[in-house]
Amino acid sequence: MKRLIYSLFTLSIMLTHVACTSNGETNTILKESKAPFGAPEFSNFKIEDYKEAFDKGFAEKRADIKAVIENSDAPTFENTIDALELSGKMLDKVSAIFFNLNESENTPQMTEIEEYVVPKLTELSGYVYMNDTLFNRIQTLYNNKENLGLTEEQSIVLENYYNSFVRGGALLNEADKATLLDLDTKIGLAQIKFGANLLADNKAFKLVITDKADLAGLPQGVIDAAAAEDGTWVFTLDKPSCIPFLQYADNRELREKVYKAYYGRGDNNNENDNKAIIKEILQLRQQKAKLLGYDSFAHFVLDEKMAKTPEAALDLLNSIWEPAVKRAKEEKAELQKIADRENAGIRIEGWDWFYYTEKLRKEKYALNDEAIKPYFKLENVLAGAFDCATKLYGVQFVERKDIPVYNEEVSTYEVLDADGNHLSIFYTDFFPRDTKRQGAWMTNFVNQRNIGGENIRPMVVNVCNFTAPQGDVPALLNIDETRTLFHEFGHGLHGMLTQTHYPSVSGTSVKHDFVELFSQINEKWSIHPEVLPTYAKHYLTGEAIPDSLIAKMQKSAHFNLGFETTELVAAALLDMKMHLIEDYTDFDCNEYEKELRKELGFINEIEYRYRSTNFAHVFGGGYAVGYYAYLWAEVLDCDAFELFLEKGLFDPETAGSFKQLLEMGGSKDPMREYRRFRGADPNPAALLRARGLI
């Protein structure tokens, strides 16, 4: 998942994270870096300097914008759009550092700073978006764009600015502008509270086992990972801890406890409860949409996406839903047969699904995670991802020990093109910490740009929560974690290879339902039988994964995909349909989830991938009315990968053509360029074929 930091201040110029300070700056955040490539010197930063750094950044940004507003010359692309793209470098720098660290090194102090900053970002957003003089300059250019001799990239940048200003309230009267600012401030603060509650609730749960008998069924590696110094075993809601427990623990009562705790995060009627916050956010978003002339927040969000309308997104989701549920019901019946054969005397419930799925996997394919994991040492998987990128795009990765990091677990690499030229700095941060939110994401510390005489290359970070090393045993990944590494690395490549001029359209700054194409297609190489032996080597013997095990993995490729597809589509439908409601007066998210279950015919044994109270994508970040994008983009990635299968997994011509998509960022029309690559429109059946649903 790509984390969208700037949920409030979406003006694209905020994403140019470059160092821009004078010598002699005493603020540790803003002080000019002496590290290679000007990389952030994290160890020098003092947390008490953030507020001052932000305030200085806000002041500089306002001065830059004021200069554009007060320019007495007739508006040109250079004195208006170029000037906006180059404005606020100091604020961009501190924002990139702070919001990235706030995700992975969060503390109460960081949350307090975030609460201080968000209203100021909203106020600044209003100052920019709602200034009539500035909008008139942009509107003048927009109305005359056919006569300006613009490149396609410049035309898109200009159109993006015009649309952003309109969506930011430029056409509203003064009273409504004030109302919009108030709504944005309240939405931002509510989202901060949602995220803080979720992190706190996640940290609060610990299953402490004192009786060794309660560990029955768990692999030794899982037991060792949970061992505490006081002779107990502790399981948390971090996925590397709770998912193996659900898969292998024989104690059904404890499985139920972990399952309900995981899916019940934010729904415990305590100080971390998110139900009231969800209602507040939905109400505020709906008010914002209505104020801007949209029927619902879903209509507002989708108006600027590839899908364009809720109907188009729902058509895709509904086309997948029926075959997914049908397959899931078949899978449930198979699991029930195993339970009955074992005389378990139970009806399969959600907390049984993972457990009996592992039994079924072993029975049908003589395969389970513990047989696979020894071949997926983290360092080898990362090397495999690097190797695929080298074969496809000619890029090289050189580990650097001289680039500062924000945590000792972080590694850094210099990325070079085929000729040895510098492309990017790449950071990896792979293991869970109490200060890190769950999930996996990619963001930038520095965005690429080539404007105003400077060619700035990006600094990209991948953050994940993988199984950590235990004693002499290195970090060994399961298949889901392996795919996640390749997924986030696909986002990373999108950020690192970009070759645009304007920062507002560089890298992953593309339409939301296009961005996941590059992450999801990269997953395809991770488990392909041609690629697996090149990196999947036993961590003790160094022997490549045997053909027999690869064959079992291929044979089981569609195993449990009814469950996985159903939980994913259900979450996307929940997100979409919640934001189509027009009146939230009597809204209760738990009751709504139950009603939607009935409407969809959603079987009770499967939970939404994320329930409302822990749906951080939607209520704590930038994916509101956006979770469908994973499936929208999956149509593209499955269709695109079929061309690689046809031409050759590393066919130079096909890879070179796809690289153009990676490099263009948002500087070109995405569907036109996809058709150029593929030679046709994307075929939705490719997704169903890839998931084994047809």
Structural domain includes residue 232: yes
Q: Is 24's pLDDT higher than 70? A: no
What does the pLDDT read at residue 370? 84
Query: What percent of the chain is predicted at pLDDT more than 70?
Result: 97
Last residue of a domain, one of 147, 167, 187: 167
Same domain, 429 and 514: yes
Residues 226 and 162 in one domain: no
Query: What confidence score (pLDDT) does residue 3 get?
Result: 38
Q: Is residue 237 part of a domain?
A: yes
Q: Could you give the CA distance from residue 266 to residue 271 in angstroms, rounded to a whole number?
A: 9
Asked whether residue 576 is assigned to any structural domain, the reply reads: no
Co-location of 548 and 684 in the same domain: yes
* 113 and 212 part of one domain: no
For residue 159, give every residue at least 6 positions away whose Cβ sits within 8 Å of its Cβ, in sequence order, or none: 142, 145
Comparing C-alpha atoms, which of 109, 264, 141 is closest to residue 202? 264
Which residue's structure tokens are 């007066």? 585
The secondary structure of 330-341, three-state, reads HHHHHHHHHHHH
Mean pLDDT of the 486-493 span: 98
What are the pLDDT digits (tens) for 101-124?
999 999 999 999 999 999 999 999
Specify the long-range contacts of residues 340-343, CB closer than 8 Å, at least 24 apart: none
Helix/strand/coil for 28: coil
Q: Indicate if 158 and 244 belong to the same structural domain.
A: no
State the average pLDDT for the chain.
93
Regarding whether 527 and 447 lie in a shared domain, the answer is yes
Q: Does residue 473 carry a pLDDT above 80?
A: yes
Q: Collapsing DSSP states into helix, strand and coil, what is residue 411?
A: strand
Q: Does the residue 447 lie in any domain?
A: yes
Q: Hey, is 301 helix, strand or coil? A: helix
Angle ∠(241,247,251) on CA atoms, nearest 5: 95
Can you read off the two tokens belonging to residue 637? Answer: 């990635």
Tokens 């806000």 correspond to: 58
Q: What is the mean pLDDT of residues 371-396?
A: 97
Of the three residues 263, 282, 300, the one that is the final residue of a domain is: 263
For residues 224 and 101, membership in a common domain is answered with no
Same domain, residue pair 210 and 143 = no
Q: What is the pLDDT of residue 8?
A: 33
Domain count, the chain: 3
The catalytic residues are 488
Q: Which amino acid is at 375?
A: Y
Structure tokens given for 41: 């010197």
Rg (the chain; Cα; Å): 25
If asked whether residues 382 and 503 sit together in one domain, one would say: yes
Contact 355, 246 (CB under 8 A): yes
Q: Is 354 contained in some domain? A: no
Residue in 660, 635, 664 with CA at minimum distance from that of residue 510? 664
Q: The domain that contains 143 carries what CATH number?
A: 1.10.1370.40
Q: Give the separation between CA 47 and CA 52, rounded to whole angstroms.
A: 10
Which residues make beta-bridge pairs with 426? 413, 460
Residue 156 has pLDDT above 70, yes or no: yes
Are 464 and 487 in contact, with CB atoms under 8 Å apart?
no
Say yes or no: 438 and 507 in one domain: yes
Treating both helix axes as pointing N-terminal to C-terminal, what angle do 561-578 and 629-647 enclose, rounded to 10 degrees? 140
Helix (H) or strand (E) holding 670, with range, is helix 670-678
- β-pairing, 411-416 vs 207-209, is unpaired
> Could you tell me if 134 and 69 are in contact, meaning their C-beta atoms sit under 8 angstroms apart?
yes
The reply to whether 512 and 459 lie within a common domain is yes
Which range of residues forms the domain containing residue 230?
Answer: 206-263
Per-residue pLDDT for 9 more than 70? no
Q: Which helix (H) or strand (E) holds 450?
A: strand 449-451
Cross-strand pairs, 7: none
| CA dist list (Å): 153 to 326, 477, 493 | 45, 41, 20
In this predicted structure, the answer to whether residue 15 has a pLDDT above a threshold of 70 is no
**Inside any domain, residue 381:** yes
Average pLDDT of 547-571? 95
Q: Would residue 121 count as lying in a domain?
A: yes
Q: Are residues 158 and 226 in the same domain?
A: no
Q: What pTM value is reported for the model?
A: 0.89
Can you read off the two tokens belonging to residue 187? 């939405």
- Two structure tokens written together for 656: 């070179």
Q: Indicate the residue among 263, 281, 298 that finishes a domain.
A: 263
CB atoms inside a 10 Å sphere around CB 114: 21
Percentage of the chain modeled with pLDDT above 90: 91
Residue 402 lies in a domain: yes
